[in-house]
Amino acid sequence: MPGTDIVLDGDGPLHQQIRRAIARPILAGAWAPGRRIPSEHELMARFGVSRMTVNRALASLAGEGLVERKRKSGTVVAAPSAERAVFEIWDISAEIARAGATHAMRLLLRETAEATQVEADRLRVPTGTPVLRLLLCHSAKGAPVQLEERLVSVRAAPAILDERFETIAPGRWLLDHVPWTEAEHSIRAAEASPEIAHHLRIGPGAACLVVERRTWRGDEPITFARLTSPAGAQVLIGRFRPAGER
């Protein structure tokens, strides 16, 4: 098969290398859902490893829902699930597009500064660290659906200073340019402050869903985002199985 760009990076255990080699084109969108992945025998031969090692990598990808495996028919790229979108992607523009609505974005603030005490706490960096401050309002069908307050550590993503964010959202840009290894979400309800209410065109004190996300690359904080949506504009859905299963 030409065009199969799966290569091992030589970093870490073989089964993790194989897993990454296959996960990479799937997550990047290069392999469309339904595309067939080489069989275990083919991968054995290609990488010169035993079948157990290949199986371990593929079984793990199947456990995460990135691929689906069926006897006889083989392994194929799985359709992205809403669950994965919730806990992995967090790209509001993609979510809006998936819902079939048109997405618009307004950049309300963009400035570099040294982190204040409060910002440093949020981003988990020392006070005075250079940061990029962003404030954006995302709309679907003309109605505001999410206010994005974001801090980005300039040290973790220096190239972000060249980006104007006229068409691409900061979350998307970061996903594309800065690999992350760890993320933390916190989810809560809150009443809209006057400023947030103004931007979202809702009454002050109206119920909002607030998601805060931090990401790291190793021990290095990358970004802090607070995403505020009016009640009803966003529902997070997750599917789970008992810890003893799977």
Binding interface with a copy of itself (CB under 8 A): 16, 19-20, 23-24, 27, 52, 60, 64, 66, 84, 87-88, 179-191, 205-210, 229, 231-232, 234-246
Q: Which does 241 bind (CB under 5 to 8 A by kind): DNA, a copy of itself, none?
A: a copy of itself
DSSP letter string, 8-64: ----S-HHHHHHHHHHHHHHTTSS-TTPEEPPHHHHHHHHT--HHHHHHHHHHHHHH
Q: Which does 39 bind (CB under 5 to 8 A by kind): a copy of itself, DNA, none?
A: DNA
Question: Residue from 50, 102, 112, 193 that binds DNA (CB under 7 A)?
Answer: 50
| Residue 161 contacts residue 132 (beta carbons within 8 Å) | yes
Residue 217 binds DNA (CB under 7 A): no
Taking Cα atoms as reference points, which of 95, 126, 122, 109 lies closest to residue 186? 122
Per CB under 7 A, the segment of 50-58, 123-131, 182-190, 218-226 that binds DNA is 50-58
Residue 9: Cβ-neighbour burial (10 angstroms; 0-12, 13-18, 19+): exposed
Per CB under 7 A, the segment of 10-18, 142-150, 202-210, 212-220 that binds DNA is 10-18
126 CB-side CA count, 13 A: 3
| Residue 38 contacts residue 76 (beta carbons within 8 Å) | no
Residue 69 binds DNA (CB under 7 A): yes
Nearer to DNA, 4 or 102 (CB): 4
Nearer to DNA, 19 or 199 (CB): 19
| Residue 136 contacts residue 107 (beta carbons within 8 Å) | yes
Phi, psi of 210, rounded to the nearest 5 degrees: -120, 120
Nearer to DNA, 39 or 186 (CB): 39
Nearer to a copy of itself, 121 or 182 (CB): 182
Contact residues: DNA, CB under 7 A: 12-16, 37, 39-41, 48-53, 55-56, 58-59, 62, 69-75
